[in-house]
Amino acid sequence: MAGEERSFVTRDIPLPAPTPDTAPFYEAARRGELRLQRCSDCGMFRHYPRPACPRCLSRRFGWERASGRGTVYTWTIVRGPTLPAFESKLPYNVVDVLLEEGVHFVSEVLDCKPEELYAGMPVEAVFVPVTDEITLVKFRKAQSSSAPST
């Protein structure tokens, strides 16, 4: 980011700071895996990570590998204003993906024109390294024929 004026607001993309609660998610993302918390008692998946199951209140859980497949539930095309870090991307999409595991995941569909997005569009996860520590989970139009059509 050389040559940027010093400003209160960063010109870098704000990035997650993993905590003990979330580190397993980011470790998995670095390996190219989408892992979600799953309740060890009732089996419900949950996202974002948290220490108890909202359905059965169990505090026992594991980090289970998700298929990475889902469908677009809703979206927006951001046309600005936005943070300086995203200005050069305008317009860009933000999508809410309903994963096969039944949880919602906010992200972006890469290489997708605004007019191509639709509700129910099958997508699959791709992994985009941003720093040594952080790999963001993005999506792309489903390539495999096994993608769900819900």
CB atoms within 10 A of CB 72: 21
**Applying CB under 8 A, which of residues 22, 67, 140, 141 lies at the interface with other proteins?**
22
The yes or no reply on residue 107 touching other proteins (CB under 8 A) is yes
Q: How far apart are CA 103 and CA 97, in angstroms?
A: 8
Q: How far apart are CA 98 and CA 45, in angstroms?
A: 12
Q: Which is nearer to other proteins, 24 or 84 (CB)?
A: 84
Q: How far apart are CA 57 and CA 9, in angstroms?
A: 39
Q: Which is nearer to other proteins, 41 or 119 (CB)?
A: 119
Q: How far apart are CA 113 and CA 88, in angstroms?
A: 16
Site string for other proteins, 124-143 (x = CB under 8 A): ------x---x-x-x-----
Q: Which is nearer to other proteins, 48 or 146 (CB)?
A: 48
| Least distance to other proteins, CB of residue 62, Å | 19
Q: Is the dihedral of CA 127, 44, 106, 69 positive or negative?
A: positive
Region of 143 (left: φ > 0; alpha: ψ -120 to 50; beta: rest) is alpha
Q: Which of residues 43-72 bind other proteins (CB under 8 A)?
A: 47-48, 54
Q: Which residues contribute to the site for other proteins (CB under 8 A)?
A: 7-10, 12-17, 19, 22, 47-48, 54, 73-84, 86, 89, 92, 94, 96, 98, 103-108, 114, 119, 130, 134, 136, 138
